[in-house]
Structure 1
Amino acid sequence: MPLKVVIIGGGSSYTPEIIEGFILRHHSFPVDEVVLVDIEDGKEKLEVVGQLAQRMIDKSNVKITLRWTLDRKEALRGADFVSTQIRVGGLEARALDERIPLKHGFIGQETNGAGGMFKAFRTIPVLLELADEMTELCPNAWLINFTNPAGIVTEALLKHSKHQKVIGVCNIPFNMRNSVAEILHAPVEHVSIEFIGLNHFIFGRQVLVNGVDRTADVLAALRQGNDYSPANIVGLGWSESFLNSIKMLPNPYHQYYFQTRDVLAKDLQAYEENGTRAEVVQEVERRLFEQYRDVSLDVKPKELEQRGGAYYSDAACNLMDSLYNDRGDIQTVNTLNQGTIRDLPEDAVIEVNAVITKAGPRPLSIGSLPLHLRGLITNLKTFEQLTIQAAISGKYEDAYLAALMNPLIQDEKRIDALLEELFRAHHLYLPQFQLKEVLS
């Protein structure tokens, strides 16, 4: 049977990662056809990335037919897997997501806080349209969502589209597992971490190496300054009191919630000295695409790791491989709760270890959340669900409630000014919102 994969956002600088993943796994995941899809504004990048991907495939001698196109519907027809890696509004929109909150005294981050909320507002309608097209053109295909904020977007798709074969993926759990393996000098395949929580708000409750509990050893290493932050997040380290008290592995995004003042000060200083992370990434992308245009380049360049997407291809390709082969292995994914965490709704999306089968992920039971995490996680889930509600309804009041419930905002006297400027900046990508009174 032919095996077809479609990559939405194919002109992304991340694409060589996933192409490499397909090449390395072709013996077990024999992709016959890969189609890269982008929009008119991304046409030039799509051409550059497509040509590099073709050179990578030619060098590998694997039998993969590669195409790239701006015709999404034509590409989707007959697909078995569809992977999404889009950024509505591009890096220019990301820069606004980061700059505007900082201007108002809030953390500016592309997937957390106000920036992440507006990224969700821009993204959810676009991916709901994609899901509708998949229902018509490739109803049996799995939609593998890597687009951030991954947990929010995945829940929106599962709640508001007919297409239910949707799984979210994030490279943070994969990154943490690989980094923990390095810390413990153990082969990564021997390491397992029990993850609990939500996308960008997960904790490692237990670390096992060949079935032996090594959680205390990893926490000790963190106390000594070991770090596993990706390229896009500068870690500030954790205090002994924090690690001794939570007795779990934090993830890099936790600094936004537990070190808010320090992160805000750091980001404001970086903003003054070097610009936002988005502007740093724009320079990284400029250099990457210079390399991509080199006709002698036929491998994924090492510099791509600076982009913040390390282990992306492993996370996405391992998931596709396991779904295709009905492996029954355990991976960390974003999927429906269905009673896995007793404190959250059945239809909430969580980030959790799950057994991956051809029928989809089966989450491993967690039970009740630890008392010290319960309030924060349920608060964040409330924010996520209000964000989805606002993205669907287009009501300013729903957007306000989402901001009010976001732990990185929660300042009712400053929310209106923050939202007004963000809505003005992004109004071209937010047609669902009726904002005449707000922006008058």
Structure 2
Amino acid sequence: MKEKNLVIVGGGSTYTLGIIMSLIEEKKNFPLKKITLYDIDEQRQEKIAKATEILLKEHYPELKDFNYTTDKATAFSNIDAAFVQIRTGGLYMRELDEQIPLKHGAIGQETCGAGGMAYGLRSITDMIELVNDIRNYSNDAWILNYTNPAAIVGLALQKEFPDDKRILNICDMPIAIMKSYADLLEKDVWELIPEYFGLNHFGWFSKILDQQGNDLTNEIKNNIINGDFLPADKEIANDESWIQTFRKARQMLIDFPEFLPNTYLQYYLYPEELAKKETPDNTRARQVINGREKRVHELCDHIIFQQTTNDINVEADIHGVYMIRAAASLVFNLKETYVVMTENNGIISNLPADALVEVPAILTNDGPKAFSVGEIPAFYKGLIENQYAYEKLVVEAYYEKSYNKLLQALTLNRTIVHAPQAKAILDDLIEANKDYWPELN
């Protein structure tokens, strides 16, 4: 395999170190000549980058070049792939995304409901600019976007760049859930073959098979209902919020046993219950600031101070490995199957053609080739169409600067439903996001 050049956009993210560790583990599957970190926040990126430099020197000596930059030409020239993980507004704005809906009795969550809408509207402008910048310097590079909320961002990119077939919107949540299935079965996650349908953060596994074609779905359901379902990926395994999120899958299966749910569905199926459990002074954003961010920055400080990683355990995470293997399949035309987002166009035959669905697809150097799902039952069709209408209205509101369409979107969203509540939340979000959102009519 010919060595490639990669840029990680959002190099100052607390997820970057995990991606780097995964690149080290996957270097035979995705060999690289050059890795570049790019971020608009020079100070935040520098700490991550200095630790990364030591990691790569010790564990990836064959890598010919590593650098970090805030310069677009340096970052995007002569690249083969870009991993995009930006957070417009940072964790400060994420906390407001969660606190404002909670103030009005609705769930505060960064990708779902009102918080997801706020985050999505902030992300669209920066994502469009990023894609244009990358294309100015590397027209044929693969862009793997896993910026949240991926459904809204992906729809906007689909509208803005309809002819760009080298943008892949992808999320690690299906593989993170599958990692827990694999642990229940005492199998390797890469031995499992998923059948999956839905939208991003809004889908179901209809079947889980092994490499021999044996159907493991009922065994997984029984294990979840009669045991304890926990996050297995090391990045979230000890996070109390994620532990409770995975445990909620048991209730979802008891109530709706037909398919295995994506854990994010809890926010849409039990919104009032979950809203009551949240507190504005202990949001998920605050937990991240005091948890993962603090932990990663302390690890970077330790590596930089010691100038070695000899006393730390350098481990890949499932998030990073998934992105890297998907990228390798695209770049090297490996034709491997991953759950990704793609325009529907009849894949789920009784959903709108322009919906951005999340389904298994073979990843080739000509893009994703999705497997047909066919018709889905009325309950799931209704839920998905409602959610897709919300997502589509948010994107339309961005382009049309429409207050009314944002109000319609929030009123449709299952985490809110009530129009007066939706209006109160929207008005507060407009004030909080006046430096980021388009001025609405």
- TM-score over 0.5 for the pair: yes
Structure 1 residues 303 and 378: CA distance shift in structure 2, 3 A? farther
Q: Partners in 2 of 1:300 and 1:415 — Cα distance?
A: 51
**RMSD, matched Cα:** 2.2
Once the two structures are TM-superposed, the CA of residue 180 in structure 1 deviates from its matched residue by 0.7
> SS of 1:237's equivalent?
helix
What is the one-letter code of the residue matched to 1:266? K
1:250 maps to 261
Q: Percent identity?
A: 31
Q: Partners in 1 of 2:95 and 2:32 — Cα distance?
A: 36
What is the one-letter code of the residue matched to 2:52? A
Once the two structures are TM-superposed, the CA of residue 81 in structure 1 deviates from its matched residue by 0.8
> SS of 1:167's equivalent?
strand
Alignment of 1:30-45 (within 5 A): 30-39=31-40, 42-45=41-44
Correspondence 1:145 to 2:152: no
What is the one-letter code of the residue matched to 1:47? E
2:21 maps to 20
Correspondence 1:289 to 2:297: yes
Correspondence 1:76 to 2:76: yes
Alignment of 1:32-431 (within 5 A): 32-39=33-40, 42-60=41-59, 61-161=61-161, 163-209=164-210, 210-229=212-231, 230=236, 231=239, 232-233=241-242, 234-235=244-245, 236-238=247-249, 242-243=253-254, 245-268=256-279, 271=280, 275-284=282-291, 285-294=293-302, 295=304, 296=306, 298=309, 311-430=318-437
Q: Partners in 2 of 1:341 and 1:300 — Cα distance?
A: 50
> SS of 2:435's equivalent?
helix
The answer (yes or no) to whether the contact 2:165–2:367 under 8 Å persists in 1 is no
Once the two structures are TM-superposed, the CA of residue 93 in structure 1 deviates from its matched residue by 0.4
Q: Which contiguous aligned blocks of 4+ residues in structure 1 show a shift greater than 6 angstroms?
A: 299-305
1:438 maps to none
Query: Unaligned regions of 5+ residues in structure 1, if any?
Result: 436-440
The answer (yes or no) to whether the contact 2:154–2:356 under 8 Å persists in 1 is yes
Once the two structures are TM-superposed, the CA of residue 117 in structure 1 deviates from its matched residue by 0.4
Once the two structures are TM-superposed, the CA of residue 407 in structure 1 deviates from its matched residue by 1.3
TM-score (norm. length: structure 2): 0.91
Q: Partners in 2 of 1:71 and 1:12 — Cα distance?
A: 17
Deviations 1:299-332, CA, capped at 9 Å, x for gaps: 8977999xxxx52101210111111221111111
The answer (yes or no) to whether the contact 1:54–1:66 under 8 Å persists in 2 is yes
The answer (yes or no) to whether the contact 2:351–2:381 under 8 Å persists in 1 is no
Deviations 1:114-149, CA, capped at 9 Å, x for gaps: 000010000011101111222322110111011101
Once the two structures are TM-superposed, the CA of residue 375 in structure 1 deviates from its matched residue by 0.2
Structure 1 residues 245 and 146: CA distance shift in structure 2, 3 A? closer
> SS of 2:44's equivalent?
helix
Q: Partners in 1 of 2:3 and 2:13 — Cα distance?
A: 25
How many residues are treated as equivalent by the alignment? 424
Query: Unaligned regions of 5+ residues in structure 2, if any?
Result: none
Structure 1 residues 64 and 110: CA distance shift in structure 2, 3 A? farther
Q: Partners in 1 of 2:154 and 2:123 — Cα distance?
A: 11
1:433 maps to 439
